Amino acid sequence: MIDFHTYPIMIKELIEKDPSLGIHIRDILGFYFPPQPLSVFLYEMDAAGIEKSVLLPIDCSITHHCKIPSNETIADLVDKNPRFVGFASVDPNSKNSEKELNSSITQLGLKGLFLDPAIQRFGINSKEVTYPLYQICLELKIPVLIHCGLNWSPKSLARFANPLDLEEVAQDFPELKIIISNLGWPWYKEAIMLAMKYRNIYLDTSVMYSGIPKEMFSHLIGTLIGKGVFERNLHFQIIYGSNFPRVDMRRTMRGISAMDFSVDFKKHLFLENALTVLGKEGKS
């Protein structure tokens, strides 16, 4: 199983090495619990039955003057542990963003691009700022994961993260694999509409707004959306992601597992769709 949405933050070894990272994690992302050793991240994966985790950094060097953490740090974590798959982040508002994305993929070996428009504050459908990055993703055959909807960061602005703004992108880049995180919540209807209409739009399940995960998934997927919508329409476009450490992997996994999806859907939810998005590299 792959967890497609995790953040390597509040990791004791990284913060001890760079104390300013801890300050940025607190002030920009709003995490206040004690940092934990990297081993706890791996034990958490074990406890949830996760084999590999996609690590997501956030480069907000223009908007908030920091990288949480850097792409080099992500590459270093991946080099030291084969259970990690690293994504790159670049700040779309930076004039160096295209060059940095290129080098992060071709030289550091990262496997995708992560964008967090609510924190980085850019237009996800901006032809000037963002389209050149989408073009590079297309050329390098890597996916782009975009955090949409609710963002718990105290510095985020949700108006930048409406998934409906991705419709034009889906049309202009039909071969680009775009993953909308968080099921787009509270704009989950818009996110699902896009995924139903465009085969290059994927959704990750990293939503968490209230209640224990089992209760929340049951209400959102079982009652509001309908399990059949996932099973019938989005069988090959839903990807499991926890949003760790906003919520723990164990309870998230138990919550979505309790949805009683078909065996084949679960195979795609927890593994196959992630491998499809990551391409051959992800299957190693």
Partner 1 sequence: MKNVYKEFNLVSKNETELINITENVHSFVRTSGIKSGLVFVISFHTTTGITVNEPLPDLESDIATFLNKIVDENQEYRHARFLHSDGQMAVNSPSHLRQALLGFEVFFPIEDGEIKTGSRQSIYFVELDGPQERKYCIKAIGE
Binding interface with partner 1 (CB under 8 A): 12, 29-34, 36-37, 39-40, 43-44, 46-47, 152, 208-215, 245-248, 250-251, 254
Residue 25 CA, distance from chain mean position: 17
Report the residue number, 13 or 139, with the smaller CB distance to partner 1: 13
Burial class (CB in 10 A: 0-12, 13-18, 19+), 106: exposed
**How far apart (Å, rounded) are the C-alpha atoms in residues 151 and 116?**
9
For residues 63 and 91, is the Cβ–Cβ distance under 8 A? yes
For 23, phi and psi rounded to 5 degrees? -65, -45
Cβ(124)–Cβ(130) below 8 Å: yes
Give the span between the Cα atoms of 92 and 152, in whole angstroms. Answer: 21
Q: Give residues with Cβ within 8 angstroms of 269, minimum separation 6.
A: 205, 238, 239, 240, 256, 261
Count of H-run helices and E-run strands, the chain: 14, 10
The nearer residue to partner 1, 46 or 79, going by C-beta atoms, is 46
Identity of the residue, 43 or 99, whose beta carbon is nearer to partner 1 in the bound complex: 43
CB 40 → partner 1: shortest distance, Å?
Answer: 5
CB of 9 or CB of 269, closer to partner 1: 9
Least separation in angstroms between CB 217 and partner 1 = 12
Tell me whether residue 235 or residue 254 sits nearer to partner 1 (CB atom).
Answer: 254
Q: How far is CA 254 from the centre of its chain?
A: 20
CB of 181 to partner 1, least distance (A): 15
Residue number with CB closer to partner 1 (64 or 250): 250
Let me know: does 67 contact 61? Beta carbons within 8 Å. yes
Least Å distance between CB 210 and partner 1? 5
Nearest partner of 208 among 149, 267, 155, 168, judged by Cα: 149
Q: How far is the CB of 248 from partner 1 (least distance, A)?
A: 7
Of 130 and 218, the one with the shorter C-beta distance to partner 1 is 218
Q: How far is CA 130 from the centre of its chain?
A: 17
* Nearest-angstrom CA–CA distance, 55 and 46: 16
CB of 39 to partner 1, least distance (A): 6
The CB-of-23 to partner 1 minimum distance in angstroms stands at 14
